[in-house]
Amino acid sequence: MSDEKVKGAGKEPLERVRIGLEVHVQLKTNTKLFCTCPTDYRDAEPNSNICPVCTAQPGSKPNGLNATALDAIVRIALFIGCRVIKGEEVRMLRKHYFYPDLPSNYQRTSLPVGVDGRFASIRIREVHLEEDPGRYELRDGQVDYNRSGIPLVEIVTEPDMSTPQEARDFLRALSLALSYLGVARDEPGSMRCDANVSVGEGTRVEVKNINSFKGVYRALDSEIRRHRRFQRFGKRVVRETRHWDEAKMITIPLRKKEGAADYRFIPDPDVPPLVIDNALVTRLEEGLPERPTEKEARFVKRYGLDPYTSSVLVLDLEVADLFEKVAKRTDPVTAAAWLKDELRRVLNYNNLRLSETTITADEIVEVLKLFRDGTITDLTARRLFEWLAAEPRSIRQLIGRLGLGRIAGEDELTRMARQVIEDHPKAVDDYLDGKVNSLNFLVGMVMKTSGGKSDPKLTRDALEKLLGAERLRRAGDSVLS
């Protein structure tokens, strides 16, 4: 809102924007919601993960509901503060519409499993279970039913957000929370979002098919501007569903908004009602992980981290868990800084998750120890993080193989310093004539010779010692001459 306000300064105050989101997330299950077809639809040949059930062939009946999907949705509902509907029948409904990706002409969607939640300051209206449709490729008319029947959770918020930024922040927080639960598929396109937008007393418009956090921001920004433009010219915004065209960065009309009646909801007679009992909820509640915000606060309190470092570490549960293991064995603040900066840098650079590397707490502790006791420089420590991410070797192996140990040995450092002094007589003369800056040049030359492995302080000491001897030698020469 703040940006808008600045732009509108001097004019009448802008009307309040209301944004509500419907977030669909594919649940991480091995099999589909009502059949045993595999769910790895991305890598599979089109229409290879299908059966009569998920392609709605005549006479086919759904199997029992996937228990993993049920556990997942109850855990999600609990995690975002919803009251789970217990001891009552939760019907699976048929929601009718016609599209080539939906062979049954209805999508199965449950009544709410959880209601009245609150997450990241936004009220959650409900959480329910759905089936994903197949994929219809408009360009060539091909339909792939591999995705058909994959379980989805739909999370519906109240229209509590008032800026595109807030909507994006909410989705980021939600995505992070789901990653902590480990119940959602973690792939591009596995989280999709529809947004309801209204401006002031204006009509509510639904924007569909938003697939990224950036897309949410841009789609909402574009749609809010459209509403304001209409209102400025006294035009009415039509109640409709619009499609977000990411390439053109505009929303375009898709269809007049359907009311619930258009979908002709009926309870699916093939699916028995779901009854979630107390024991299940209690068991799942006990197994819930710490929430990201709770972890962030705890890291600050227990390990003395600054809030920013803590907020960055908790963005990746694997990194946060590694931090805790390391923090118990070494200085937590130092460890946090290295993990926040170096570890995350190399993971991002290599596009790897921590679990896809062989990095362990032992190795991090080892690197930090070698760094602290002066065996390796910080440059070497940084390289070690890079190599650890790239290839599975022990720290000692890497140091040994790559000759990375700090050049702390008197002999080698002295040898290099002596060579540099021999090679740069002018700089030596300058130094002995009182131009102390020449020493910096010589230190730099030794560092360069060592490939950055010599310690600056030790190098300076070694040079000063040799130059002192040189000064004495010259003084002696002049006395003798």
- Distance of CA 33 to CAs 29, 144, 265, Å? 9, 17, 19
Residue 65 touching Zn ion (CB under 5 A): no
- Shortest Å, Cβ 128 to Zn ion: 21
DSSP bridge partners of 297: none
Our finding on whether 274 is near Zn ion (CB under 5 A) is no
57 or 278: CB nearest Zn ion: 57
Cα 207 off chain centre by = 24
Distance CA 421, CA 173 (A): 58
Please give the full DSSP string across 318-349, using - where no structure is assigned. HHHHHHHHHHTTS-HHHHHHHIIIIIHHHHHH
Nearest-approach distance from CB 382 to Zn ion, in angstroms: 50
Which structure tokens are listed for 234? 């006294």
**CB 63, min distance to Zn ion, A:** 9
Question: Minimum distance from CB of 62 to Zn ion (Å)?
Answer: 9
Q: Which of 21, 54, 336, 427 binds Zn ion (CB under 5 A)?
A: 54
By CB under 5 A, residue 35 contacts Zn ion: yes
- The DSSP string of 36-71 is --B--TTTSPTT-S--TTTTT-TT----SPPHHHHH
From the list 51-59, 91-99, 156-164, 269-277, the region that binds Zn ion by CB under 5 A is 51-59
Judged by CB under 5 A, which stretch of 13-21, 34-42, 83-91, 426-434 contacts Zn ion? 34-42
The answer to whether 37 contacts Zn ion (rule: CB under 5 A) is yes
Contact call for residues 75 and 284 (beta carbons, < 8 A)? yes
Nearer to Zn ion among residue 54 and residue 447 (C-beta): 54
If one counts every other C-beta atom within 10 angstroms of the C-beta of residue 430, the result is 17
Other Cβ atoms closer than 10 A to 476: 10
Q: Cβ 148 to Zn ion, closest distance in Å?
A: 8
Question: Judged by CB under 5 A, does residue 150 bind Zn ion?
Answer: no
Q: Which is nearer to Zn ion, 59 or 434 (CB)?
A: 59
Task: Give the count of alpha carbons within 13 A of 130, CB side only.
Answer: 21
Closest approach, Cβ 30 to Zn ion, in A, equals: 12
Nearer to Zn ion, 131 or 363 (CB): 131
State the number of binding residues for Zn ion (CB under 5 A): 5
CA 414, CA 468: separation in Å to the nearest integer? 13
Rg (CA), the chain: 32
Q: Name which of 51 and 315 has its Cβ closer to Zn ion.
A: 51
1, 14, 44, 51: which one contacts Zn ion (CB under 5 A)? Answer: 51
Closest to Zn ion by CB, 53 vs 314, is: 53
Rounded Cα distance, 36 and 65, in Å: 10
Closer residue to Zn ion in complex, CB, 128/147 = 147
CB of 392 to Zn ion, least distance (A): 38
Answer yes or no: are the C-beta atoms of 366 and 386 closer than 8 Å: no
Per CB under 5 A, residues contacting Zn ion are: 35, 37, 51, 53-54
